[in-house]
Amino acid sequence: MASATGCGALVYSRAGHGGSEASRGPRPVRYLHEEALEVLPAVRDHFGLGDVVLFGHSDGASIAILYAGAGPESRHPRGSVRAIILEAPHVFVEPLCLESMTRISAEYATGRLRRRLSRHHGENTDSLFRSWIDVWLRPEFRTWNIEEALPAIESPVLVIQGEDDEYGTVKQVEAVVTGVRGPARSLLLPRCGHSPHRERAEEVLDAAGRFVREILDRAGQPS
């Protein structure tokens, strides 16, 4: 993306992910709100980031929605959210998602999924997986919904989702596109699951790159 747009890129692993410190204790039901309203602003402050384009996948997409949709109090003194790219976002919980999580929770014990995840998360793998599954399968999480954040989003939005996403249907895309105040478009990819950036990398890069360049060109500013 950095090469395709000429923009700088900051990619970070949340606590408990990748090579970051392990997270402590179970995740609260509002863990995505905490990431959006406490952690992301702190990351932005730490690196002194001005205008930004947020690009989030799955949980990261939900975090981007919550951050951008927090209202006037979320306005950052260093700069604005110029645009948002949401890949496989969740704005509410669907039965399909819970069914898939229940299935992979059982499959995790077989080792194949654990081996795949461990390539990215190392020593954090077991605690990450269990804390993620635990919070999403809690009864109180079934009513989790962040659609109220959408109308406050005025930045241009691109939503990317695979038509065969095992964790969400096109209803998630429709909710975002119709719910935000600013201009929004979507890219639905056939024969693609929950990770378009891996399964259809060239198409995702092309669409996301063109989207960002259009935003910059429209503003008449360099990348």
Instruction: Report DSSP letters for 84-138, one per residue.
Output: EEEES--SB--HHHHHHHHHHHHHGGGSHHHHHHHHHHGGGHHHHHHHHHHHHTS
In a domain, 90, yes or no: yes
SS3 160: strand
User: What is the per-residue pLDDT for 94?
Assistant: 97
Q: Domain containing 16: what range?
A: 6-214
Residue 1 inside a domain? The answer is no
The residues that bridge with 52 in the sheet, in sequence order, are 81
Predicted confidence at residue 72, as pLDDT, reads: 55
d(CA 108, CA 114): 6
Token duo for residue 22? 């392990």
| pLDDT (0 to 100) of residue 77 | 59
CA distance 162 to 195: 8
Domain count, the chain: 1
Per-residue model confidence (pLDDT) at position 117: 84
Rounded average pLDDT per 10-residue block, the chain, 223 residues: 92 87 84 95 92 95 96 62 96 96 86 82 86 92 97 96 97 98 97 96 97 88 51
CATH number at residue 210: 3.40.50.1820
* Residue 115 belongs to a domain: yes
Contact by Cβ (8 Å): 161, 172: yes
Residue 20 lies in a domain: yes
Domain-located, residue 219: no
Distance CA 201, CA 180 (A): 26
Q: In what order do the strands lie in the sheet with 184-189?
A: 52-57, 81-87, 157-162, 184-189
- Please choose, from the candidates 101, 123, 104, the residue with its C-alpha nearest in 3D space to the C-alpha of residue 112: 104
Q: What is the pLDDT of residue 166?
A: 95
Nearest to 168 by CA among 104, 103, 102, 94: 94
User: What is the spatial distance between Cα 61 and Cα 97, in angstroms, rounded to a whole number?
Assistant: 16
Structural domain includes residue 31? yes
Domain-located, residue 63: yes
140, 29 contact by CB (below 8 A): yes
Helix, strand and coil in the chain, % to nearest 5: 55, 15, 35
> In what helix (H) or strand (E) does residue 82 lie, and over which residues does it extend?
strand 81-87
Is 43 inside any structural domain?
yes
pTM score, whole prediction: 0.91
Q: pLDDT at position 223, please? A: 45
Helix (H) or strand (E) holding 188, with range, is strand 184-189
